[in-house]
Chains A and B, each alone.
Chain A
Amino acid sequence: MPTAQVKKVDRVLNLLVRARKLAQLYPTGNPKIRETVEAAAKAVQESFSDSEDGSANSGAPGIQFRGEPSAGQGSRSQSETDETILLTVSRDAFQFEGKTLGTRQVLVGQYARELYRQGVKVFWFRRSLTPDELEQFVRAAALRATGAAAERSGAERPFVHIGFEVIRQLSVVEGDAGAVPFDLLEYLRQRQALRRRPGEASGKELHELPEDQSEDISDLLQFFLEIAQGSDEKRQYLFNTLANPARLAETFDLVATTSGPGEDTSDEVPIDVLKQMLQHIADNIRALPEADRKKTAQLIAQAVLNTDTNTRVKVRDSALAEQIGRDRINDEISGALPPEEVARLLSAHVRLHNGTANTVSNFLEEFTGDEERRTTVRQLVIENLVQTGDRRAQKIAGLFKEGPVVTGDDFVSARDQAPRARASEPLSHDHAYLAHELALNGGEAYELDTLVRAANDSPDLEEAALVALNLVEEGDFSATDREVAVLFPRALQSALNEERYDFVSQFLEKTLDGPERKAHQTTLKILRPFIAVLTSVENIARILDQMYSVGLAHPTSQRLTKLLRQIGEPAYEVVFDGIAHEPDRKLRQFLLTVFVGFGEDTVFFLSRNVEQREWYVVRNVAYLLGQIGSETGIDALERVLYHADMRVRREVLRGLAAIGGNRAETILLRCLEDDHPVIQGLAAEWLGVMGAANALPVLREVLDQQHKATRRRRPDLVIGVVRAIANLGTEDEATAVRKLAARLRRSLAKRRDEMLQACEEAIAKLEVTDLSRAGRLGKASN
């Protein structure tokens, strides 16, 4: 690992961060920016000079030298303008050479986060990078971060031109001859090599694995698993492979030679893995724009042709032939093969996979290109099938002689409707047969299959409730009918039992927002039939359990939060009660977060609970009001501002600061005069945290008073005010704090050290932020 190079790249990043900061503060052309950018460009060059000894050229993921035949082979060419240092961007750090940069440097981490949020997942420096280009990108990134001006104006993303790539926008393009970026094949080979190299120190874990080819399968599956889990890095490797048919062919060959665990040397395992690999590839290119997807399918087809004979037979006759009519991508790849290969593939589909005349016919119509090519393929398929000696195949061949296969008269014709997009899910066996029997076209067959599956599993009570609701809305039923009162709770309970919370939510939405509500002018009348079901503690607890098990970040939890919000106070009651009485801290924290998610609607409920006897319940209320952040909660907080328990008072101050605004600021300012010194200090500190710029003169006044006071100095207040000033103050305040610190150093006051530490921290912070504040102010005045 070239530690020196990592350090230099780290330095580049630091300079970039600084340049970015300056770019936000100063207009273009400012010498400070230019100076920093030039330093950064120089650092980039220095990073390259380190790599010239080849140490960085390990071929490992993360660094890529373009323009070379392959990693670590031979001497490098003179024209090394394409050399690239590649960094990947994660949520809060950069990755280079397997090292994480930025975890300990807050600003670098922030920069990584900023880029990541903009969709940048990887970027590289080329040796030819100029200070101009670097400045252009620094400025563009800074602009995007602050105002996304470029994006709003619809301008092209600047990153693409200067070495940044947004992974989500990647598509497969044909690679340059000779340029071999790190790809799936290389990944598999490296894994294989590491596993089989005895005594490799760095791969201890790997080399302990048995030297068994079945591990290759695990590698491949692991690779796709990581893509499924969101690894852009692996996805890039896959796309690099897809861009190069020769490499993809080699990958197919490699996979085709794998064998199963133990003694299993049959073809089943590699065929199965090839099928999986093609399926994963299909899944990854499915979302590409149509033109790109078709181009990729052609590249894959080309790769299939480049494989050795054994592999080709496996891919064509087993993997692709089996999926005909089931997956559009698979059919596009198959259709891109030369006519002879398509004919063989379709013959295999009929003979080996019980393909029907209809699936072949549909494929020919849709995936074999123009009429001439289609005719050629059809003729070849007929010849192949006739030659097989298989009666069924010959019969199907007979059907093709007349053209597209249809049975019955026009109303059962497969031609009477345009083919529709196929679903990726295969038809059930029964329905595949039925599709054949009824001469349904592909779209119809899948539609029928889907409809039957859905009707088979349909939650009928819930459907009936929606039907009844429709009748209510149409005026055929009344919301107050006995029948409605019986059916709605049944349906809701059934949905809750089956954890179909979306239905409950949707139903409530319709019920509460429908015209019936307007007609009755009362929600309660409609809610009455099923209020008991919804407000049952058991049902609400069930919903909470579900949220806990999937985690709050999960989309399901977000939907459930919405549902609980729709239920309203009964749900708040259960969660609030849980917060007060749940002994498990983790669960309590969970419930608090859930409650905060209910938002502003709960303020009224919380206000009613603010005067409870137990201090911890009141503290919860204060916490929740603060987290919810609604100004309507300030009244409730003010009511318990002078609570007997100090823990409640602390929480109230925090809550006020979290809510913010003029009223909260006024109350906190009033607390500077509180009887309790801790409250005074905390009030000051929170004023600083909430950025109450208007409070600065008052705080400054207090600071000055405390500066002068010697015997009456109140350490809590001093610490609080100093910390607040650290957040709000300018150079003037820094001077005042410095003076106070000087005085404190000479004094023997109680808690002198604590006060001094606060002062020193404040001075440091004020000095660091002075520059940026100056910039901000300058910008504001402009």
Chain B
Amino acid sequence: MVQAIQEMAGGVKTLLQHLTAARKKARMYPSDHPYVLDSLRGFLQELARFLHEKDDVTLSVADEELYFDGARLIDEQAAFLALVKDFAARKVSAITFRRGVTEEELSKFITLSVGKPSDLQEAGGIRTLLERDGVRRIALDQKTLVLPGMVAAGPKAREAVRVSRDIYRTVVQTVIAAFMDATDKSKVNVSVLENTVGLVVAGIARQADLYLDLSRVKSFHEYTFFHSTNVAILSLLIASKLHFGDRQMHRLGVAALLHDIGKVKTPMEILDKPGRLTEAEFKIMQKHPVDGARILAGQEDVDGLAITIAAQHHAHYNMTGYPNFQRLGRLHFLSHLVTIADVFDALTSDRSYRKALLPDRAMQIILNGRGTTFHPLLTKVFVQLSGVYPVGSVVELDDGAVAAVCKPNPDDVFRPWVRPVSASVNGRGGNELINLSEKASDGSYLRSIVRSLDPRDRNIEIASQV
């Protein structure tokens, strides 16, 4: 599993390399030159791997940084700086490649994209030219990228974001290493995990909001690793809210990172099976808590909490989950805590068998399961932490504006801080943050949420940090 995922990891970078090379060659050679075609074909080949599972992918530019399907590209920023600047100069902020894009369409787009900005402007803009040439499967600025929670004003704040991002990536890499060790040696290097968790715990103590934002990062292909990292971050955020001691925070972090370690024993075809699992497959899937507990119990240096959480994270509050713990009669409080984080992250992630649920819908599911699947008190704490409309939700306000939720409001879980995506009816909009609990002089709220929206229906992409 790990090997397959690692193979996919460099895909975006390769894609961008082909794009840059094609544009470079298109400046020197005619569009049908084999050099150019070579790069175009390389790009298309790589793109096909992504479009195999998705209808489209979008490359966006915001704040002079590149995003791929809303995910901020970290390593690629410096290497593709020229690409970013070129797009900015041509007033292009998002390029969407749809499934079925042809070599001809790509060639036309590349040729246009290297044209002089002034010439393009005179000709009516690159978007008009593409439409004129009948390019249907490459769309410009069709999607709006919203950056929730990333109010990185000033160098210190930017540095904090950068550091948190680095920590996140380190954690993901550590998780990958742990899963590889578990696969190869049935053993996990706990001390490395402890060190990285230490960074997250310290980071959460400094700036919890940043980590709440980070926990939204998803990866379809590296789901398990990103999921484990997100579950650890969400668990630590809840635990931090409950004022757990430092020692227990560290232990919880490691335990949450390893909660799915048993999946190394689950066949990839079951993990990634598109569609419903058969009963037999589901039984195999259900073994991963026991397998996880087994891997961890066999190691002298693993903390007991990790074993307990690995075994109990699917057991459910009313013990109707798996494995059966009715004989023991109780579950560890922190197992309940990890369960909530686990389910929330899983529901809001794209899986092979279903699309990601909207965050507020996932929250609704958690709320509906309080007292049965989830610990009722911890559900309250989690809602308090994330809000009923978690960060990344897209909502419609009563003045008609569409806004993205950027920050929860602990004083009122129904009235988070939002950032408008479109101009509002009364003209208020733009990029500023709005506190929905603000009131007018007569005591009524200035704005309220009417309903939540699916950002995909509105061509809105919520950016994530990594």
Contact = CB atoms under 8 A, between A and B. Distances in A.
Contacts of A215: none
Interface string B378-410: 001101100010000000000000000000001
B224 to A, nearest CB: 22
Most A CB contacts (10 A, CB to CB) among B243, B297, B380, B388 go to: B297
Contacts of A430: 243
B185 to A, nearest CB: 14
A483 B242 contact: no
Interface string A450-493: 01101110111111111111110110110001111011001100
A449 to B, nearest CB: 9
B377 A447 contact: yes
A539 interface: no
B244 A471 contact: no
B132 interface: no
Contacts of B234: none
B92 interface: no
Contact of B244 (A448, A452, A463, A482): A452
Interface in A496-535: none
Contacts of A466: 328
Contacts of A471: 290, 293, 311, 323
> Top 3 A-B pairs ranked by shortest CB distance?
A464-B304, A460-B304, A461-B304
Contacts of B456: none
A454 B242 CA distance: 12
B304 A462 contact: yes
Interface in A414-468: 428, 430-431, 434, 437-438, 440, 444, 447-448, 451-452, 454-456, 458-468
Interface stretch (A140-148, A405-413, A577-585, A608-616): A405-413
Contacts of A451: 333, 377
A490 B304 CA distance: 10
Contact of A434 (B243, B327, B383): B243
A428 B244 CA distance: 12
B332 interface: yes
A477 B290 contact: yes
Contacts of A481: 294
Interface residues of A, number: 46
B305 A464 contact: yes
Interface residues of B, number: 42
Contact of A467 (B293, B334, B388): B293
Given A434-B242, A487-B297, 4 more contacts: A412-B384, A460-B308, A467-B311, A467-B332
B117 to A, nearest CB: 52
B409 to A, nearest CB: 11
A452 B242 contact: yes
Contacts of B242: 431, 434, 448, 452
A467 B328 contact: yes
B312 A460 contact: no
Interface string B218-262: 000000000000000000000001111100100100000000000
A460 B251 contact: yes
A533 to B, nearest CB: 14
A486 B300 CA distance: 7
B377 to A, nearest CB: 5
Given A412-B413, A438-B384, A460-B308, A484 B297 contact: yes
Interface string B295-321: 001111001110110011000000000
B381 A438 contact: yes
A482 B414 CA distance: 51
Given A465-B304, A466-B328, A440 B294 contact: no
Contacts of B328: 466-467, 469-470
B324 interface: yes
A411 B243 contact: no
Most A CB contacts (10 A, CB to CB) among B245, B251, B293 go to: B293
Nearest to B241: A434
Nearest to B388: A409
Interface in B341-373: 367, 370
Interface string A385-418: 0000000000000000000000111011000000
Contact of B298 (A434, A459, A486): A486
B244 A456 contact: yes
Contacts of A428: 243
Given A434-B243, A452-B243, A461-B304, A440 B251 contact: no
Contacts of B413: 408-409, 412
12 contacts: A411-B370, A412-B383, A412-B384, A437-B384, A438-B381, A440-B377, A452-B242, A452-B244, A455-B333, A460-B305, A463-B332, A468-B293
A437 B251 CA distance: 26
B307 A468 contact: yes
Contact of A407 (B294, B388, B412): B412
A473 B329 CA distance: 13
B295 to A, nearest CB: 8
A460 B306 CA distance: 9
A411 B369 CA distance: 12
A437 B243 CA distance: 14
Contact of A411 (B251, B300, B367, B381): B367
A408 B307 contact: no
B262 to A, nearest CB: 11
B304 A440 contact: no
A408 B243 contact: no
B293 A408 contact: no
B325 interface: yes
Contacts of A434: 241-243, 381
A468 B298 CA distance: 11
Contact of B327 (A458, A461, A465, A470): A470
A464 B297 contact: yes
A491 B304 contact: yes
Contacts of A407: 411-412
A371 B183 CA distance: 66
Given A438-B380, A463-B304, A467-B311, A477 B294 contact: yes
B328 to A, nearest CB: 4
B449 to A, nearest CB: 12
A465 B297 CA distance: 9
A632 B452 CA distance: 80
